[in-house]
Amino acid sequence: MDHKQIAKLITLIENEPDRSRDILKKLPKRICPVIGFTGSPGVGKSTLIDQVIARLRSIGKTVAVVAVDPSSPFSQGAFLGDRVRMKKHFLDEGVFIRSMASRGALGGLNESIYDVVELLESVGFDYVLIETVGVGQAEIEVRYVADIVVLVLSPGFGDEMQLLKAGVMEIADIYVVNKSDLEGNDSLYDQLVGFLTFAGRDVSSVVKTTALNGNGVEELVDKVITLWKSLAETERLKQMRKERLKHHTETLARRTLQRYLSTVDSQDPYESVELALKSMCERLKYGQGGGT
Amino acid sequence: MYDKEQLKKIAEVFEHWQQQTENDMKKFPERKQRFLSSSGYEFKRCYTPLDVSELDYLKDLGMPGEYPYTRGVQRTMYRGRLWTMRQYAGFGTAEETNKRFKYLLQQGQTGLSVAFDLPTQIGYDSDHPLAEGEVGRVGVAVDSLRDIEILFDGIPLKDVSTSMTINSTAVILLSMYAVTAQKQGAKIEELRGTIQNDILKEYIARGTYIFPPEPSMKIVTDIFEFCAQHMPKWNTISISGYHIREAGASAVQELAFTFGDAIAYVEAAIKAGLDPNVFGRQLSFFFAAHNNFLEEIAKFRAARRIWAKIMKERFNVTNQDAMRLRFHTQTGGSTLTAQQPLNNIVRVAIQALAAVLGGTQSLHTNSFDEALGLPTEQSVQVALRTQQIIAYESGVADIVDPLAGSFAVEALTNEIEEKVWEYLEKIDALGGMVRAIELGYVQKEIHKSAYEQQLAIEKGEQIVVGVNAFQTKEEKPVENILKVDPALEEKQKESLKQLREQRDNRAVASALKELKQAAQEGKNIVPYVFEAVKCYATLGEISDVLREVYGEYTESTSI
Amino acid sequence: MKKYRILIAKPGLDGHDRGAKVVAHALRDAGFEVIYTGLRQTPEQIVKTAIQEDVDLIGLSILSGAHLQLSKKVIELMKKEGIGNIPVFVGGIIPPDDVPKLLEIGVVRVFGPGTPLSKIVQEVREVLEGVASTSGS
């Protein structure tokens, strides 16, 4: 499938989610490493991903990137500027970059992300990278979509404070301390190691990088490859994919229910849910297809 | 300046006056609810001694030519010597621009200012694929020393002062200029002029960067070091607020971000082992002159006081010459309109007047066809005459800092200064200007201001005559707009091809190899660039060597 | 629900992005998803981005005088890659007598200095809805 076809399918999945099922049904089931990158704006995530893509390309791997940015809660529009940093890969046929707006999804990613990732896996990319902004504890959806979550930190972001915001910290598998040529970087690194030790986590999961010149990127990619291999060899990957399936299902269920909820008119939330479920069951009963 | 008793009396009268005025306003309201400056603070209805009661003449103003230089950096200012009339010019090939330079000098301008095309600014030769369609469009195309020789043919460099708006490739153009001067028989120690060489603002607002910040800063400090030793009359940098302002910043932000950059340069140079008392004297600045007349004048005065304090208090400089803020001004291009272009002549005149009352050392006035194309001979003549009329007919050049003591101007000067310090504190808290730029903080602030301004214009809160008020239904199109002949691009490429064939390619290869090694070893690259330039290595070839060593920068954007 | 996706691109070497960012902001505030390419884009990069992002409209911002050449290249390439149906808008410093030339090349709208954002947003909507009604999507 060429880039144009892939792009059109993604648009379809985003805009007409009811058709995703049919689209995906026709494609071969395939899995590949799905790596999520999260971290505050300005830590150097995009620059790092740019380098990671370069490294993966240099070892002959094809890469699909989904960069998610928040939609404006007021206008529902979005400014999607992440691909700017990945310019040098635009003309590489082995790299596909797509920007997505969150479209109000609760977890900080777009609701269609599950289907989009599944599509990208099916069409044969060796790696799927997801870039997301993970500033708060709500934006942890990436944990369920990705097999490996890389949290990017950088000195001078009050990361020392961030470390205490347990939610984001805990979902990460690999920690990147970026801009290691800046003073203050060691302090962040030390604090991080200390924190992980205290939490009983593996401190070898910390990597120092200078995304600007690529230092540490090879090490990061090696860690990702090794980790994924070990997940695949044990039952961990299967479990994670099950979790992903569960969250995907819940997202679909929520969306379906929301549709019925929007037709219900009640002041009592409990009654509203009952009415919506009733309405849905009636439709199913009379073979009108619930649809998702 | 007033004693306590007097101030008390004035305050009473003022209170009474305010009440009466507000009473009157019930029947005769003012034109707006609030009268805002570009920087968001409000203009008072009327300024009185109460607004400057804390002003200490000797400490805050001082005499012209004396610390803190609020009243000007020279004692006699324009009575001694008028500001340099320096029109930014350049387009097409070196031959075309040479003609325009001669025209301008003939018309009475007193300094040269060179505009280079985008490939030259970004380190690409005219035959590079990315240069296609861009050669000679926004400035003169320079591929090698030969172009500079042609550019200044018939213009003795020892007798003129030349400003070159060039940043990432400043080291190359400086070398070409100096070598050309030497070939003309001049000594490089005598040369007067400026290279813009302000890479930080490129990341913020102008976009002609090549390398990442760290190596770019090194090139900047290499140039400081070289010029301190070999070109003492040369301004090594023109730390610019103009482009920042044009990108949408307010007057306060213009100063704050310029000084943020300046502090970063001074710190980098000190870290590289240079003495601020020495290199400090060769720093210069570049600001915009925008529409709000009084705010702009106050801005320039505040700028001088702020810089003097920064150098003295933050960097412990003792050499007075290194505390003096010398600056070039350009009237704000973004304020000029495509609609009813003749109105622009008036805008430029007011802006130029503000720059002169603000004490600028050098001035470029825009041409009325600014929003349509590069200046024609006719339009640039009017722009130059504007300066000459101000200089010779208006009388403002005959009194030094004539607006000093004005309650409004001094209050505004203070207000701007205060707000600039607030910003500088924020930038320090973020870890300095380079960090602030990496974080996108500066760019976001500027964009926010730009967007707000645009919304204000669309809501009619800000009037742009001829655009959202007093429009004409049928505009008469401007007859004569300068078009750069696309055939010049081919001509330039042909010359380049010939050059590559005619020169000693072995010498070029050798010089480039030496340059690469010097760059890799962290040596001062300026002498090596000189050598490469002498053998007619091209600008693209030299830039490519540096790209190999330093890498290339990619920006990130958010709004 | 269809969300329109608009590409705002800076072709060529011009580094002034104030206008492009202000327009992108306005479009975002009007509910569009705006993909911004950043500076120094070649026509090839712009077209590739348009394909991968499956955009509905392309806006080129050019202030360096190279608008005729750059617009022509982008549109030719779009046609070659089979996305010639995507409407192209151009904004920036465009001398009035170049406007008809741009329209002839295939540019759908040209916005010179002083064009209000509200006008740009309105024209974007009109063109997109016009396209939608003709293509029956």
Q: Which residue has the tokens 């590489």?
A: A92
Q: Looking at the domain B57-73+196-459, which fold is it?
A: TIM Barrel (3.20.20)
The pLDDT score that the predictor gives to residue A138 is 54
Sheet of B237-240: strand order equals B84-85, B362-364, B327-331, B283-289, B237-240
- The answer to whether the CB of A67 falls within 8 A of the CB of A98 is yes
CA pair distance C37, B434, nearest whole angstrom: 23
- pLDDT above 70 coverage of chain C, percent: 96
Classify each residue of B366-391 as buried b or exposed e, where b means 16 or more C-beta atoms within 10 Å of its C-beta. Answer: bbbbbbbbbbbeebbbbbbebbeebb
| A224/A263 same-domain check | no
- The answer to whether the CB of A24 falls within 8 A of the CB of A119 is yes
| A275/A177 same-domain check | no
For A153, the enclosing helix (H) or strand (E) is strand A148-153
* pTM for this entry: 0.93
Cis peptide leading into C95, omega within 30 of 0? no
- The answer to whether the CB of B218 falls within 8 A of the CB of B269 is no
- The answer to whether the CB of B197 falls within 8 A of the CB of B166 is yes
Q: Does C84 touch chain B (CB under 8 A)?
A: no
CA distance C97 to chain A (A): 33
| A110/A251 same-domain check | no
CA pair distance C4, C31, nearest whole angstrom: 8
pLDDT digits (tens, 9 = 90+) for A243-268: 999 999 998 888 888 888 888 888 89
Which residues lie below 8 Å from residue B133, measured CB to CB, with a gap of 6+?
A: B486, B489, C12, C66, C69, C70
Q: How many CB pairs under 8 A join B and C?
A: 105
A156 and B435: CB-CB below 8 Å?
yes
| A122/A211 same-domain check | yes
Is the pLDDT at A183 greater than 70? The verdict is no
The pLDDT score that the predictor gives to residue C1 is 55
| A68/A43 same-domain check | yes
Q: Does A259 touch chain C (CB under 8 A)?
A: no
pLDDT bracket for residue A156 (50, 70, 90) = low
The pLDDT score that the predictor gives to residue A159 is 57
pLDDT bracket for residue A137 (50, 70, 90) = low
Residues of chain B numbered 4-63 and touching chain C (CB < 8 Å): none
pLDDT bracket for residue A185 (50, 70, 90) = low
CA distance A74 to chain C (A): 8
CA pair distance B414, B51, nearest whole angstrom: 10
Chains with 3 or more CB pairs closer than 8 angstroms to C? A, B
Task: Output Rg (C-alpha) for chain A, integer angstroms.
Answer: 20
- The answer to whether the CB of B307 falls within 8 A of the CB of B262 is yes
* Token couple for B276: 């601020």
The pLDDT score that the predictor gives to residue B68 is 98
HSE-up of B364 (CA within 13 Å, CB side)?
27
| A66/A145 same-domain check | yes
Residues of chain B numbered 188-227 and touching chain C (CB < 8 Å): 202, 205-208
- The answer to whether the CB of B509 falls within 8 A of the CB of B139 is no
CA pair distance A150, A143, nearest whole angstrom: 10
Which residues lie below 8 Å from residue A29, measured CB to CB, with a gap of 6+?
A: A122
Nearest to C12 by CA among B244, B118, B246: B118
From chain A, the residues in CB contact with B436 under 8 A are: none
Q: Which residue has the tokens 């999507």?
A: C137
From chain C, the residues in CB contact with A10 under 8 A are: 54
Q: Does C115 touch chain B (CB under 8 A)?
A: no
B451 and C13: CB-CB below 8 Å?
no
Interface mutation target, options B438, B555, B557, chain A, most CBs of A under 10 Å: B438
Task: Output Rg (C-alpha) for chain C, integer angstroms.
Answer: 14
CA distance B345 to chain C (A): 17
B477 and C97: CB-CB below 8 Å?
yes
* Residue count (chain A): 292
Burial class (CB in 10 A: 0-12, 13-18, 19+), C1: exposed
Q: Does A98 touch chain C (CB under 8 A)?
A: yes
Nearest to C94 by CA among C57, C61, C58, C118: C61
Which residues lie below 8 Å from residue C57, measured CB to CB, with a gap of 6+?
A: C4, C6, C7, C86, C87, C88, C89, C124, C127, C128
- Is C5-130 in CATH node 3.40.50.280? yes
Residues of chain C numbered 11-70 and touching chain B (CB < 8 Å): 12-18, 21-22, 24-26, 28, 36, 38-40, 42, 64-66, 69-70
pLDDT digits (tens, 9 = 90+) for A81-121: 999 989 999 999 999 999 999 988 766 788 899 999 999 99
Residue B171 Cα distances to A192, B224, B522, B530, angstroms? 42, 11, 15, 9
From chain B, the residues in CB contact with A88 under 8 A are: 554
Nearest to C40 by CA among B439, B435, B132, B245: B132
C15 and B207: CB-CB below 8 Å?
yes
Average per-residue pLDDT for chain C: 93
| A112/A217 same-domain check | yes
Closest-CA residue of B relative to C64 is: B138
| A141/A263 same-domain check | no
From chain B, the residues in CB contact with A77 under 8 A are: none
CA distance C24 to chain A (A): 7
CA distance B65 to chain C (A): 37
The DSSP 8-state label assigned to residue B168 in this structure reads: T
Chains with 3 or more CB pairs closer than 8 angstroms to B? A, C
Closest-CA residue of A relative to B551 is: A213
Instruction: For residue C15, give the nearest of B208, B373, B483 by CB distance.
Output: B208
- The answer to whether the CB of B258 falls within 8 A of the CB of B206 is no
pLDDT bracket for residue A292 (50, 70, 90) = very low
Interface mutation target, options A75, A83, A212, A217, chain B, most CBs of B under 10 Å: A212
- The answer to whether the CB of B93 falls within 8 A of the CB of B488 is yes
From chain B, the residues in CB contact with A152 under 8 A are: none
Q: Does A75 touch chain C (CB under 8 A)?
A: yes
B439 and A42: CB-CB below 8 Å?
yes
The pLDDT score that the predictor gives to residue B152 is 98
Instruction: For residue C66, give the nearest of B134, B205, B447 by CB distance.
Output: B134
Interface mutation target, options C8, C10, C13, chain B, most CBs of B under 10 Å: C13
Residues of chain A numbered 227-286 and touching chain B (CB < 8 Å): none
CATH number (domain holding residue A64): 3.40.50.300
| A102/A15 same-domain check | yes
Nearest to B44 by CA among B31, B55, B35, B52: B35
Q: How many domains does chain A have?
A: 2
State which residues form the domain around A53: 3-233
The pLDDT score that the predictor gives to residue C136 is 47
Mapped onto helix, strand or coil, the DSSP state of residue C25 is: helix
DSSP notation for B330-355: EE-GGG--SSSTTHHHHHHHHHHHHH
CA pair distance B173, B539, nearest whole angstrom: 8
From chain A, the residues in CB contact with B267 under 8 A are: none
| A161/A55 same-domain check | yes
CA distance C66 to chain B (A): 5
CA distance B329 to chain C (A): 19
Over its length of 559 residues, how does chain B's per-residue pLDDT go in tens digits?
Answer: 679 999 999 999 999 999 999 999 999 999 999 999 999 999 999 999 999 999 999 999 999 999 999 999 999 999 999 999 999 999 999 999 999 999 999 999 999 999 999 999 999 999 999 999 899 999 999 999 999 999 999 999 999 999 999 999 999 999 999 999 999 999 999 999 999 999 999 999 999 999 999 999 999 999 999 999 999 999 999 999 999 999 999 999 999 999 999 999 999 999 999 999 999 999 999 999 999 999 999 999 999 999 999 999 999 999 999 999 999 999 999 999 999 999 999 999 999 999 999 999 999 999 999 988 899 999 999 999 999 999 999 999 999 999 999 999 999 999 999 999 999 999 999 889 998 998 889 999 999 999 999 999 999 999 999 999 999 988 888 888 888 888 999 999 999 999 999 999 999 999 999 999 999 999 999 999 999 999 999 999 999 999 999 999 988 777 8
Tell me, what amino acid is at A234?
T
A84 and B557: CB-CB below 8 Å?
yes
Q: Where are the domains of chain C?
A: 5-130
| A15/A48 same-domain check | yes
- DSSP helix, strand, coil percent of chain C (3-state; round to 5): 45, 20, 35
Predicted ipTM?
0.94
